[in-house]
Copies of this chain bind each other. A is one copy, B any other.
Amino acid sequence: MAMMPEQRRSSTPQIRIALDAMGGDNGPSVVLAGAARVAAKRPDVTFLLFGDSALVEPLLRSHAALAKVATVHHSDVAIKMDDKPSQALRTGRRVSSMWMAVEAVKRGDADVAVSAGNTGALMAMSKVCLRTMPQIDRPAIAALWPTLRGRSIVLDVGATIGADAQHLVDMAIMGAAMASIVLGVPTPSLGLLNVGIEEIKGLEEVKAAGRLLRDAALPHLDYRGFVEGDDLGRGTVDVVVTEGFTGNIALKTAEGTAKQIAQYLRDAMGASLLSKLGYVLARKAFDAMREKMDPRRVNGGVFLGLDGLVIKSHGGTDGLGFAGAIEMGYEMAHHDLLSKIRESLTLAQEIRTPGVSPAAESS
């Protein structure tokens, strides 16, 4: 059933991207629209599409350029957006489009898997199929956060609840590795999310992680201390680390606030003839601003700590947004995020073993 790509451009190394074509609120139509956008832009990408071939193949025929670089791999089972992770594993292990996309990474057939399916199921399958890296106990989800300075990386936005000091330090190392790729800075600045109220001064775990990071003085990470909730939008640091409950609530609170203000703005601009005229005149400025606030520009949660690359797209996104999640996967694979993380973890290990530092060894 698989349609083979008609040609491959062998001049540059190919990035092979596995897509869960059935994931998300809108399924294959959005997934293929997103893939078509990326295919049109990037000659070094091939796609493996996992899903119901009776749905995927007809759609693929309307994306001629994508069809040339994509193979379809039939799957009978689609994980539902409200399936519980345990349920998803029971019904979808080995046979669902989600599992098969992740398994393509495990087998080495793909460099990264992207799914807009439900987060819990995708994380559960990724953990079972790919396993965590040997040094990592619990994976995390890292999100891009638009800021006044540009973009930051925030993790964990909801993989697990609670984190001890070691877990926070692991996240710092992984988040900094990701930031060095996404933001193109060799030594990203990093803060631990905390509360600024003197009396309580934050969780013990956060304080302990702060001490560890300060003492370790890791080479690829510029630890700047605690940051507060309002530092997120300000872009005070390149990477903000927190445990998954708080991170998820912070992310959704920011999304909710942005929507709320956008609604205020719409109401205000429609309030009178003068304001409507003003809106028409300032249209280009509004469009530029809307683009800055567009959540599709920062779509794509990166699963960190697994022995393989998996990207989670927003479930309700459109083709443009899904293309953003694919682009994130492309970037992570192209710059070999996994090797960068492994390197940083090893380096951190050596630094934290008393008496043995890389400096001492190399001198």
Contacts and interface: CB of A to CB of B under 8 A. Distances in A.
Interface in A266-288: 267-269, 271-272, 274-275, 277-286, 288
A193 interface: yes
Number of copies: 2
- A242, A253, A261: which has the most chain B beta carbons within 10 Å? A253
Nearest to A127: B199
Interface string A223-263: 00000111111100000001011101111111111111101
Contact of A198 (B82, B267, B275): B82
Contact of A234 (B231, B256, B261): B256
Interface string A14-37: 000000000000000000000000
Contacts of A274: 281-282, 284-285
A315 to B, nearest CB: 11
Interface string A139-173: 00000001110000000001111100000000000
Interface in A100-123: 118-121, 123
A217 interface: no
Contacts of A82: 198
A284 B275 contact: yes
A292 interface: yes
Contacts of A229: 248-256
Interface residues of A, number: 76
Given A268-B282, A275-B282, A288-B268, A197 B119 contact: yes
Given A272-B285, A281-B275, A285-B269, A233 B245 contact: no
Contacts of A250: 229, 249-250, 253
A249 B246 contact: yes
A118 B118 CA distance: 43
A158 B265 contact: no
A200 interface: yes
A249 B148 contact: no
Contacts of A280: 278
Contact of A281 (B83, B85, B124, B281): B281
Contact of A148 (B84, B260, B289): B260
Nearest to A200: B161
Contacts of A147: 260
A244 B200 contact: yes
A343 B259 CA distance: 38
B233 A260 contact: yes
Contacts of A289: 264-265, 267-268
Nearest to A276: B282
B258 A272 contact: no
A234 to B, nearest CB: 6
A252 B275 contact: no
Contacts of A84: 198-199
B230 A253 contact: yes
Contact of A200 (B120, B195, B196, B269): B120
List the 10 shortest-distance A-B pairs measured between CB atoms, nearest first. Answer: A229-B252, A278-B282, A120-B199, A230-B256, A278-B281, A275-B285, A120-B198, A233-B260, A233-B256, A229-B253
